[in-house]
């Protein structure tokens, strides 16, 4: 008989209680009496209710007869008696040999009360908050694993799913790793944990919500438990995420990131095995020698696939980008709005102009003393500019004023469309600094009046060419040097009529770190963090048909005049195009003044549809609308069965704090904002943009109707219901639109009809929003 392992733990408390939260209000009435408390030992106060349970393991004896003694308390540290529902999982960790990874083996999974899925051993309630459990199974009988004094064992104890007092306590899992003779485990394999998952997911609960920790999953989805190798946890997790998550596929550190609990976060590059590699590299058959020479085991994998090689192969794109980026910096040294043009080419044009001064710096921060428009090593250098932000006394920026703004295209890979890609106008060049003048900007806004005293933004889009080594800048010849190049870092500068502003005037709504939790981040050595979001998932590119270079088309028209929508799936490489700066620079184009584009209309939202205006609203490019609608799968080009652009958001859409900084989602910030512009007769007036005489581009949309801003934002999440039989997309919820209209919202009204008198924030104040969205 295997010798028994007797372990006593004084005060081990693995606290994993998920507090029950919900939306509730005070009705002013006294609550009803709770159920009588369950009897405990005489003289011992026991809990009459609980929001969460804490489990402390007191004693574990493992052998042919295995016993556990543990104590359960509530959040007030009172003993909880009378519990009847528990789960017990015990697994052992086997050290890998011949290159194999260390693997868990399931020794037993039991639960009380018993069911068709699990047996229940002997459970005893000691009436003082402590419980005793004897496993039904002889844990030494597992043929694939031998318990010894030095091997790590893991006990997972499940609580919850039953009422304590009047409220049911949420499921929670407590895990405890140990080894024989009462000593701490020498080693425990923790590659990922809930903290890694929490970047994208709000919580982690599967199998009816009973299992809430990654430690539980790896303990049960083991080779000796599951019959299908694809269900072993590493393979199962890869299969569920590869090509599905919103971060670049090759970025293993999206999930395998370091934290205090994930002690083996680097396992992905330290222990290469064929079992995990083929979950991504599906075209490889190691046994048959397809796309790799054949071998029988993992013994030699690490000989070639060293940690350095694996990291380089998977992450070199963005790590190399960081190294290459350091060779060149385009820096705005000054920017200001002037009331009249100074460049000869602009003389006689009505309106104000932005003067932008740019210096080219080397990796040491010194000027290269070169005129920007005359160098040949920039594949593109474009600067997106807009104007019209204001504070309004609330500490936030108003919507920018000038439609898609202006783009200073000093170097560009865009097509030569008239009015879209024009030759830059140089005002001055001196001491390595080139000053450009771009405009005109209209300072008279139809909603805000004179905009002269406000401020503007400028952000770049940069790519420069290098040799194959990634060490030397070289002139672009349009071939290999382009792919060897580097995307410059994004940045955002604020300026006014006096020049660059030293302090940030706009409230912070999102951050690179928050967005990067799901989309990935790229960090330089000096700590500069950017969200790794590939804009080309939505934007047009060369070969995308006749609309390339004219608009953000979210797809293209193929030769049969059918809409060919691009997939929203992430690319395989990080930072192949410029990363994003918390989406703020997108405001230059993605604002309330820009009407929805041709392709969205032609694909799924057509004039004459009964919900035409509402569908256009949810498909609007305004930043505060399209981000919500896209994540909620509510845009007109989403939500169809089998459509390529569907999004399955991995968290709770009601969790505003997942993306927003603090209370930046307060409805007061929408009061007085500019309405969203629509062009309702666009399809009647649209013409072929290649027509040299009458061509009308998608960027030439003319606003003829407007939608209230608060209604548009709220509709972006709350506006759709699930499609019913025979419907090819989710339908607009008429009752939601009606409620909004009853409270002042306007949809598709003319400029003269628009009054801006929404009353949403009266009821939906910050406290109300937090309550109904379940926010703390």
Burial of 502 (0-12, 13-18, 19+ CB in 10 A): exposed
Q: What is the pLDDT of residues 593-612, one digit of tens each?
A: 988 876 666 667 888 888 99
Assess whether pLDDT exceeds 50 at residue 543: no
Q: Is the pTM of this model over 0.75?
A: yes
Give SS3 for 707.
strand
Q: Give yes or no for residue 282 having a pLDDT over 70.
A: yes
> In the numeric block, which tokens belong to residue 181?
């003779």
Euclidean distance between CA atoms 699 and 77, whole angstroms = 64
Tell me the β-bridge partners of 316: none
Sequence-ordered alpha helix ranges (H) in 55-209: 194-197
Residue with tokens 């932008």: 356
pLDDT higher than 50, residue 43: yes
Tokens 């809990």, residue located = 47
Examine the pLDDT at 17 and tell me if it is beyond 50: no
Range name among 140-149, 247-256, 547-556 with the lowest pLDDT average? 547-556
Would you put residue 244 in left (φ > 0), alpha (ψ -120 to 50) or beta?
A: alpha
pLDDT, position 551: 47
Confidence band for 584, pLDDT divided at 50, 70 and 90: confident
DSSP class of residue 404 equals T
DSSP state of 670: G
The secondary element (H helix, E strand) that includes residue 740 is helix 734-742
How many Å apart are CA 546 and CA 558, to the nearest integer?
A: 9
**In this prediction, what percent of the chain has a pLDDT beyond 70?**
81
Q: How many CB atoms lie within 10 A of CB 451?
A: 23
Q: Looking at the predicted structure, is the pLDDT value of residue 233 above 80?
A: yes
Summarised one tens digit per residue, pLDDT across range 718-746 is 999 988 887 777 889 999 999 999 999 99
In this predicted structure, the answer to whether residue 35 has a pLDDT above a threshold of 70 is no
DSSP, collapsed to helix, strand or coil, labels residue 389 as strand
What the block records as the tokens of 205 is 């609960």
Tens of pLDDT along 89-101?
Answer: 999 999 999 999 9
- pLDDT higher than threshold 90 for residue 296: no
Residue 273 has pLDDT above 50, yes or no: yes
By C-alpha distance, which of 214, 439, 433 is closest to 338? 439
DSSP string over 69-89: EEEEE-TTS-B------EEEE
């Amino acid at each position: 008989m295997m010798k028994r392992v007797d372990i006593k733990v004084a005060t081990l408390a693995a606290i994993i209680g998920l507090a029950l939260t919900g939306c509730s209000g005070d009705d002013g009435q006294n609550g009803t009496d709770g159920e009588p408390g369950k009897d405990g030992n005489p003289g011992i106060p026991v809990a009459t209710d609980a929001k969460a349970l804490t489990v402390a393991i007191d004693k574990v004896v493992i052998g042919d007869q295995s016993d556990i003694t543990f104590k359960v308390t509530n959040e007030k540290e009172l003993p909880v008696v009378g519990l009847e529902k528990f789960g017990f999982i015990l697994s052992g960790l086997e050290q890998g040999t011949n290159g194999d990874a260390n693997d868990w083996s399931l020794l037993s999974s039991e639960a009380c009360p018993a069911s068709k899925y699990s047996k229940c051993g002997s459970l005893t309630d000691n009436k003082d908050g402590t419980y005793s459990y004897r496993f039904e199974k002889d844990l030494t009988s597992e043929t694939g694993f031998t318990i010894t004094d030095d091997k790590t064992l893991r006990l997972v104890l499940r609580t919850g799913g039953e009422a304590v007092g009047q409220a049911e306590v949420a499921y929670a899992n407590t895990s405890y790793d140990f080894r024989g003779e009462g000593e701490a485990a020498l080693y425990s394999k923790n590659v990922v944990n809930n903290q890694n998952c929490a970047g994208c997911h709000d919580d982690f609960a599967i199998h009816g919500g009973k299992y809430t920790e990654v430690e539980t999953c790896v303990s049960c989805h083991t080779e000796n438990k599951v019959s299908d190798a694809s269900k072993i946890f590493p393979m199962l997790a890869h299969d569920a995420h590869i090509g599905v998550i919103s971060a670049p596929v090759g970025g293993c550190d999206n999930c395998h990131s370091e934290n205090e609990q994930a002690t083996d976060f680097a396992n992905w590059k330290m222990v290469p095995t064929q079992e995990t590699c083929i979950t991504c590299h599906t075209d490889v058959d190691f046994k048959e020698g397809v796309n790799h020479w054949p071998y029988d085991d993992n013994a030699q994998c690490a000989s070639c696939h060293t940690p350095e090689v694996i990291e380089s192969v998977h992450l070199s794109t963005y790590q190399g980008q960081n190294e290459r980026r350091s060779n060149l910096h385009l820096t705005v040294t000054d920017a200001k709005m002037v009331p009249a043009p100074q460049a000869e080419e602009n003389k006689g044009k009505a309106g104000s102009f932005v003067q932008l001064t740019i210096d080219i710096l080397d990796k040491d921060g010194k000027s290269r003393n070169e005129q920007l428009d005359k160098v040949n090593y920039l594949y593109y250098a474009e600067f997106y500019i807009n104007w019209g932000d204001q504070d309004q006394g609330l500490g936030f920026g108003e919507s920018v004023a000038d439609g898609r703004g202006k783009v200073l295209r000093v170097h560009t890979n865009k097509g030569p469309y008239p009015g879209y890609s024009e030759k830059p106008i140089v005002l001055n060049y001196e001491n390595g600094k080139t000053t450009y003048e771009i405009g005109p900007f209209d300072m008279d806004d139809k909603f805000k009046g004179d905009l002269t005293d406000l401020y503007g933004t400028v952000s770049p889009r940069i790519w420069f060419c290098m040799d194959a080594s990634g060490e030397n800048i070289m002139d672009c010849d349009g071939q290999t040097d382009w792919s060897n190049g580097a995307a410059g870092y994004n940045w955002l500068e604020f300026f006014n009529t006096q020049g660059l502003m030293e302090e940030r005037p706009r409230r912070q709504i999102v951050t690179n770190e928050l967005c990067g939790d799901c989309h990935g981040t790229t960090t330089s050595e000096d700590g500069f963090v950017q969200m790794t979001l590939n804009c080309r998932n939505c934007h047009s590119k060369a070969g995308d048909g006749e609309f390339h270079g004219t608009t953000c088309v979210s797809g293209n028209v193929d030769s049969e005049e059918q809409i060919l929508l691009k997939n929203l799936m992430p690319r395989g490489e990080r930072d192949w195009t410029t990363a994003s700066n918390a989406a703020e620079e997108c405001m230059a184009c993605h604002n309330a003044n820009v009407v929805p584009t041709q392709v969205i209309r032609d694909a799924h939202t057509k004039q004459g549809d009964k919900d035409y205006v509402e569908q256009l609203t949810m498909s609007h490019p305004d930043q505060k609308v399209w981000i919500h609608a896209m994540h909620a799968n509510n845009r007109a080009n989403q939500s169809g069965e089998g459509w390529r652009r569907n999004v399955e958001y991995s968290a709770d859409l009601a969790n505003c704090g997942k993306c927003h900084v603090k209370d930046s989602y307060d409805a007061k910030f929408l009061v007085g904002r500019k309405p969203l512009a629509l062009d309702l007769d666009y399809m009647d007036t649209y013409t072929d943009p290649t027509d040299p005489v009458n061509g009308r581009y998608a960027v030439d949309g003319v606003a003829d109707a407007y939608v209230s801003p608060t209604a548009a934002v709220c509709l972006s999440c709350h506006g759709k219901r699930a499609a019913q039989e025979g419907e090819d997309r989710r339908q607009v919820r008429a009752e939601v639109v009606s409620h909004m209209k009853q409270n002042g919202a306007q949809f598709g009204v003319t400029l003269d009809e628009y009054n801006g008198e929404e009353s949403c924030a009266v009821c939906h104040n910050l406290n109300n929003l937090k309550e109904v969205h379940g926010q703390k």
